Homo-oligomer: A and B are copies of this chain.
């Protein structure tokens, strides 16, 4: 249950058997059905999660439109950092696109985790660094890349999920309407 998570952590810090027991106690297994929400806007995001299996979608509502800005899949940490870190109400939604198995840790338990395990702070920092680098690359791609290139990068980078996500969510992620993505795909095929 916690094997993948522990393996992730061991790439960064050493964990004793006791440490692993602490982790197994603090990170609680949970399931989300397809269409179920991990987080709804207006609520404070009280957990960080780790995806063992499944697929999540992050989006904001803007003028009645859902803007998807990220996906999470096997081996990803996820939370709404904007809400979780300062513990203020969230403006985003996190929805399961498939039945998803996760491990979650609450805000107070995360503080316990940082205090109980040597190097946990370090792991927290490093884990965030990697999420951060990902976000930076995404941001730069959005600034600089043509929409067609963004689509090509998406299918190159996430081959594992491209067929699990409806096309209109991918269009939203790229920053265009489904019709436009359809036209781009047509252009690419010829």
Contacts and interface: CB of A to CB of B under 8 A. Distances in A.
Nearest to A65: B144
Contact of A82 (B62, B81, B137, B175): B137
A132 B142 contact: no
Nearest to A126: B85
Contacts of A136: 81-82, 135
Identical subunits present: 2
Interface in A77-136: 81-82, 85-86, 114, 121-122, 124-125, 128-129, 131-133, 135-136
A132 B128 contact: yes
A139 B137 contact: no
Given A121-B122, A135-B139, A142-B143, A129 B69 contact: no
Given A69-B140, A121-B121, 13 more contacts: A60-B144, A62-B144, A67-B140, A67-B143, A81-B133, A86-B133, A114-B122, A121-B122, A128-B128, A138-B139, A139-B139, A142-B142, A143-B175
